[in-house]
Amino acid sequence: MTPCLSFSSPVAGIDKTYRPEVKVSRSPSNYDFDGEELKFKLYWTIFHVADSKSKVKRIDNKRLKFWGKVSTAGIASWFKKIEDEGFSIWNEEKLSPEKTYIFQKEGDYEREKVYTYDFKNKVVKYEKINPKKNKVQIKFVKIPEVPFFEDIVTSAYFFRKYGIFEVGKVTSFPLFAGGKFQNVSFKVVALEEIDTLFGKLKAYKVIPSNNLSPEGAFERKGKVVFWFTADRRHLPIKAVAEVAIGSVSAVLVDAKGKGFDLRKDTEKKRRENLFRKILTGELGGE
């Protein structure tokens, strides 16, 4: 069956009021994302409602694939099954995504969104696909004169590498989201020691601007706060976001990458500490 196609105007013009803003670190992290795997549990108040995981894979010497998936779990599975999945192909030389794919399945609702970034012709091709109706809507958006830009998927990775991790400092850069270009910012408001599944960890408390939000069931409706580890990896260990009713928190439960496995490393450290306490008499009495 031939899909039903519909087009908007050939190319939507650039918003003349938009002014790119770039504030990034002069000394970016040398952490290599390739091979990183993160797993999170999402909670609504005290209830486990979803699981999330992400993976990074190097495609070639200048491209990385950032992939992520969120699916309902716990009591949320009783009401509506949700499976949101997506990926971005990120060009390390251009510091920008080349392609973004998002698939949303929430109950009976299904949508696919494909963004293809044509740097040569400075245009974004945006395809909105309804698989059930075999319908495709296509829109083109001009890319403004910017040194680079991110999307919803790549923005967090970009901040982890090029962010200014100093209390009181703000990182900002262009973002393509919601079919338009805008600026997104991340402000580091504190350096804290927080309890995690991996023990107490020092982490930067970060508040992003309001336009950083996924679409779909977990779209934020208010403030969101992130905590990133205070090391070169800047792992996102916790996030709390206000949604339509109450708040949703995401907690890192597993993390591994080149040269580390956070869960195994923590268990090894705990065993070593226990063994040291036994040898020094701190544990076990006389």
Q: What are 182-218's pLDDT values in tens digits?
A: 999 999 999 999 999 999 999 999 999 977 655 544 4
Q: What Cα–Cα distance (Å) separates residue 282 from each residue in 267, 278, 285?
A: 19, 6, 7
Q: Looking at the domain assignment, is residue 161 inside a domain?
A: yes
Q: Looking at the domain assignment, is residue 285 inside a domain?
A: no
The percent of residues above 90 in pLDDT, for the chain, comes to 65
Q: Looking at the domain assignment, is residue 13 inside a domain?
A: yes
- Which residues lie across from 51 on neighbouring strands? 41, 71
Which of these, 37, 87, 34, lies nearest to 59 by C-alpha position? 34
Q: Looking at the domain assignment, is residue 286 inside a domain?
A: no
Q: At 155, phi and psi to the nearest 5?
A: -60, -40
Q: Looking at the domain assignment, is residue 53 inside a domain?
A: yes
pLDDT attached to residue 214: 53
How many Cβ atoms are within 10 Å of 10's Cβ, its own excluded?
8
pLDDT attached to residue 159: 98
How many independent structural domains does the chain possess? Answer: 1
| pLDDT exceeds 50 at position 113 | yes
Give the structural domain span for 247: 4-280
Q: Looking at the domain assignment, is residue 91 inside a domain?
A: yes
| pLDDT exceeds 60 at position 21 | yes
| pLDDT exceeds 80 at position 56 | yes
Q: Looking at the domain assignment, is residue 160 inside a domain?
A: yes
Q: Looking at the domain assignment, is residue 99 inside a domain?
A: yes
